[in-house]
């Protein structure tokens, strides 16, 4: 992947977050909303390497709203009230709701390849050379 493609993908993710004001609705998951406070790119893209392997994006996000069990959602417009995590179902034979964070990340990565989204809680201390892309865009200094 070229550096320009990686930066374009990061800008696309930032525009998706900005279009929703940082609040991604996840009605089919266990919690109704995910709030993204900040987003950065890091790794080889932030260092300016000409051929980065992927686009690494670090997200600071929080799950919002009360837990809604499937019996409360009967008036919801979706035909399926609660989806199940198929991998968990296959491994243990137990139905469980999807995590809201996974649904939000799937929305942000839609139709783009080689995007790695990382959580601030897990990978924040390892992510060096960060460039903020949401709420402000510091990529304006870079020439595509």
Instruction: Return the domain boundaries, the chain.
Output: 3-68+82-139
pLDDT of residue 28: 77
Tens digit of each residue's pLDDT, the chain (144 residues)? 899 999 999 999 999 999 999 999 988 787 889 999 999 999 999 998 999 999 999 999 999 887 655 544 444 454 454 555 667 665 776 656 678 888 899 999 999 999 999 999 888 888 888 999 999 988 876 655
Return the DSSP state at 135. Answer: S
Stated as kind and residue range, the H or E segment containing 115 is strand 115-119
* 70/59 Cα distance (integer angstroms): 28
pLDDT of residue 2: 92
Using alpha carbons, select from 29, 49, 34 the residue that is nearest to residue 117. Answer: 34
CATH fit for domain 3-68+82-139, picks 3.30.460, 1.10.3470, 2.40.128, 3.10.450: 3.30.460
Other beta carbons within 10 angstroms of residue 132's beta carbon come to 15
pLDDT of residue 89: 66
CB proximity list for 72: less than 8 A, separation 6 or greater = none
Q: Is the pTM here over 0.85, yes or no? A: no
């Amino acid at each position: 992947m070229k550096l320009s493609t990686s930066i374009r993908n990061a800008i696309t993710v930032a525009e998706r977050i900005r279009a929703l004001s940082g609040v991604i609705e996840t009605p089919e998951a266990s919690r109704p909303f995910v709030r993204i406070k900040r987003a950065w790119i890091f790794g080889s893209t932030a260092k300016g390497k000409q051929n980065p392997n992927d686009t690494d994006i670090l997200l600071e996000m929080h799950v919002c709203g009360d837990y809604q069990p499937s019996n409360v959602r009967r008036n919801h417009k979706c035909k399926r009230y609660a989806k199940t995590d198929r991998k968990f179902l296959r491994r243990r034979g137990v139905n469980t709701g999807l995590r809201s964070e996974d649904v939000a990340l799937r929305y942000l990565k839609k139709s783009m390849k080689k995007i790695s989204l990382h959580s601030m809680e897990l990978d924040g201390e390892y992510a060096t050379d960060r460039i903020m892309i949401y709420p402000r865009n510091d990529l304006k200094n870079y020439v595509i």
